[in-house]
Amino acid sequence: PVNKYPFSVAYLTSAKTYLKINQVIRKNTLMPEHFLLDRILGDDILLTTSLLSKIKPEPTGTANSILSMADFGVPNVIATTTTQTQISTTQQTTTTNPQNGIQPNNTTQTTGQQNSTVINTNPQNNIPSAPVKIKPSATNVKDFVADSIRVLLKPVENEMVSVQLFISGGVAGYPMAKQGIEAVALDWALNGGTKTLTPEQLQAREELLGISIRYKVFADYSVVSMNCLHKQFDECYQLFTDVITHPVFTPDQLSNSKDAVVAHDSERDPMDVLKQTALIYTFTGKQYDKNPEGDEISIGKLTADEIKKYYAALMVRKRIILVVTGDFTAEDLSMKMRNSFRSLPAGTALTTPSGGLDIGGSAFKSISLHDNSVNRIVGIASAPDAGSNDELALMLACEILNHRIEVEVTEKKNLTSDFQLSVAGIRQNLTWISLTSESPDKAIQAILDEVKKARKLGFTADELQEAKDRFITGYFISNQDNAALSMLLGKSEENDDWVDAENLYTNISNVALADVTAALRKYMKGFRFYYSGNPDDANEIIFTQKLD
């Protein structure tokens, strides 16, 4: 990998030819516009027999010429050099380096419409001395209406298809006494059979096609998803839509669905339970004080009739968005979607609250969980609106602080091994802090000292650039497959706008150092800490100290 980007390696062998690694750089890669390409001299690497056996050599150029970006599936590239070389499809020129008067050989220039590339060239041997950075092109996502519902399509060239149906509303759609009703309704619908298939036949059909139609509930929305092979899309999509639009709600399945939802909630990681408890206390009387998976008491009281009635109000065209990632055009997908969701009623859209949480000072609350053998700490701080420029700046501030605390608190003092500081990225946005520690007081003091230091002195330009590199690298690594891309688009649309996800690379790159420091000072003013563990290990005074 070059400069921490794992997607972008082209090898220059000792024979002075380039090899494209087929599994890394190929025309059908999901996001070739984000590649960071570099040249590596064959003398500096070892191309072993095992490596060469895994790749097919494809010579694309020599050491004395610039590798075309078209070889990597990136069209319409504009390239300029530090010697002011201009590229044109109709003109070739040579330009003298103003500092040493040496003319680079074979210097050409091309014009294009969307992408731009900077190539730093050593004029003496014409071998790039720095990576070629390719800026993201205009998004290829298609936003359209098909079969009476809104569709987001992310075209990618591979053999898989991800289909995810986002249903807006989340916990805003039911009262506290009915928490968990959406999870039970979806589980029952997806496992209770259809008008043409019994539950057993439905399960057998999914197994035959090699798919699993699943659901997941969140505070702001729910998702029904399916991954399938492109060549089997028609059959799989028909089953997917049939289950959603024509559920039978077999009575015998209801108890199984209730048990499944309760079991899933009881199996959650203790840290997730503490986070959910923190939300309940922080948002008392507001949207996030409800658990989307409910609890054994609330789920046990739900009746079959109210669950079916809730599902009918939930699954309406004004509350759903279909997100598809696969090798389709908008026209192809529209044809395949005919008469799939049109049978659903239009229904009523559900307006959900939004806006960043504002917490002025620090507070402390001790929580008793089933497992108090480990000292667990969750903190909640303010955050800007999801999708805002301030949110990006605060994300980078958290990234820098995470790195500082990893060095100063984890490595040097060994006070915690799993510290995390992050922006939640939800409609009612907030900042999370979480950790476990055998010495909670010492750990929190060391962490808050780093926060205070950052609020007072800010960050350096080098820290910001390194944070951007880590953030973007992690972002691309976690969003490589079709399912992750679909989830990313749908989540961004539910929070604010799907365009945020597509433009994140550019927007993160453009965040200024002053904005990052300002966001930290504006939003990280204090934490509401929630603690589960040995009461004698946590001093409230340390947790509630001022950050100024």
List, for residues 50-101, the tens digit of each pLDDT value: 333 333 444 444 433 444 444 444 443 333 333 333 333 333 333 333 333 3
Give the chain's mean pLDDT: 80
Residue whose C-alpha is closest to residue 278's, from 527, 520, 538: 527
Residue whose C-alpha is closest to residue 250's, from 312, 184, 189: 189
Tokens read off for 355 = 């806006």
CATH class in words for 142-336: alpha beta
- Give the span between the Cα atoms of 473 and 488, in whole angstroms: 15
Question: What's the whole-number mean pLDDT along residues 404-430?
Answer: 95
Residue 234, pLDDT > 60, answer yes
Question: What's the whole-number mean pLDDT along residues 469-495?
Answer: 92
Which of 131-135, 243-247, 335-339 is predicted least confidently? 131-135
Give Cα separations from 182 to 172, 185, 471 (angstroms).
11, 5, 34
Q: What tens digit of pLDDT does each residue of 128-139 get?
A: 322 222 233 468
DSSP letters for 221-272:
EEEEEEEEEGGGHHHHHHHHHHHHHSB---HHHHHHHHHHHHHHHHTS-HHH
Write down the residue that tokens 């992750």 correspond to: 484
Residue 13, pLDDT > 70, answer no
Q: What angle do CA 149, 152, 156 make, to 5 degrees?
A: 140
- Give the span between the Cα atoms of 487 and 319, in whole angstroms: 17
Tokens read off for 103 = 């003319």
Give the dihedral of Cα atoms 334, 340, 343, 345; nearest 10 deg. -70
| Parts of the chain belonging to CATH 3.30.830.10 | 142-336, 363-543
Which residues, in sequence order, are CB contacts of 469 under 8 Å at separation 6+? 3, 4
DSSP code for 354: -
> Can you give the pLDDT at residue 392?
96
Residue whose C-alpha is closest to residue 205's, from 231, 230, 228: 228
> Can you give the pLDDT at residue 134?
26
Residue 467, pLDDT > 80, answer yes
**413 alpha-carbon distance from chain centroid:** 32
- Give the span between the Cα atoms of 380 and 361, in whole angstroms: 11
Most confident of 87-96, 139-148, 361-370, 514-523: 514-523
> Can you give the pLDDT at residue 285?
82
Residue 146, pLDDT > 50, answer yes
Tokens read off for 547 = 């950050």
> Can you give the pLDDT at residue 235?
96
Q: What percent of the chain has pLDDT over 70?
A: 75
> Can you give the pLDDT at residue 417?
86
For the whole prediction, is pTM greater than 0.85? no
> Can you give the pLDDT at residue 240?
97
528, β-bridge pairs: 363, 380
- Give the span between the Cα atoms of 322 and 152, in whole angstroms: 6
Confidence at 478, pLDDT banded by 50, 70, 90: confident
Which residues, in sequence order, are CB contacts of 518 under 8 Å at separation 6+? 393
**CB-based contact 31:115 (threshold 8 Å):** no
More confident residue, 126 or 161: 161
Q: What percent of the chain has pLDDT over 90?
A: 65
Tokens read off for 474 = 């992690």
> Can you give the pLDDT at residue 78?
37
Give Cα separations from 356 to 172, 363, 383, 427, 455 (angstroms).
17, 19, 5, 8, 20
Angle between helix 304-314 and helix 251-266 axes, rounded to 10 deg: 80
Give the dihedral of Cα atoms 219, 30, 162, 320; nearest 10 deg. 50
> Can you give the pLDDT at residue 268?
85
Which of 132-146, 456-470, 512-526 is predicted least confidently? 132-146
> Can you give the pLDDT at residue 287?
85
> Can you give the pLDDT at residue 138?
61
CA end-to-end distance (rounded Å), the chain: 41
CATH superfamily of 363-543: Metalloenzyme, LuxS/M16 peptidase-like (3.30.830.10)
> Can you give the pLDDT at residue 305?
97
Residue 452, pLDDT > 50, answer yes
Tokens read off for 235 = 């059959």
More confident residue, 418 or 285: 418
Question: What's the whole-number mean pLDDT along residues 428-457?
Answer: 96
Residue 273, pLDDT > 70, answer yes
- Give the span between the Cα atoms of 160 and 481, in whole angstroms: 9
Tokens read off for 220 = 């702001």
Question: What's the whole-number mean pLDDT along residues 162-188?
Answer: 96
Q: How many residues does the chain have?
A: 548
Question: What's the whole-number mean pLDDT along residues 153-164?
Answer: 95
Q: Which helix (H) or strand (E) holds 500?
A: helix 499-502
Give the strand pairing for 10-12 and 18-20.
Answer: antiparallel
128, β-bridge pairs: 121
Q: Is the dihedral of CA 36, 42, 46, 47 positive or negative?
A: positive
Confidence at 33, pLDDT banded by 50, 70, 90: very low
**CB-based contact 404:457 (threshold 8 Å):** no
Residue 471: what are its φ and ψ, rounded to 5°? -65, -50
Strand, coil or helix: 342: coil
Most confident of 31-40, 53-62, 330-339: 330-339
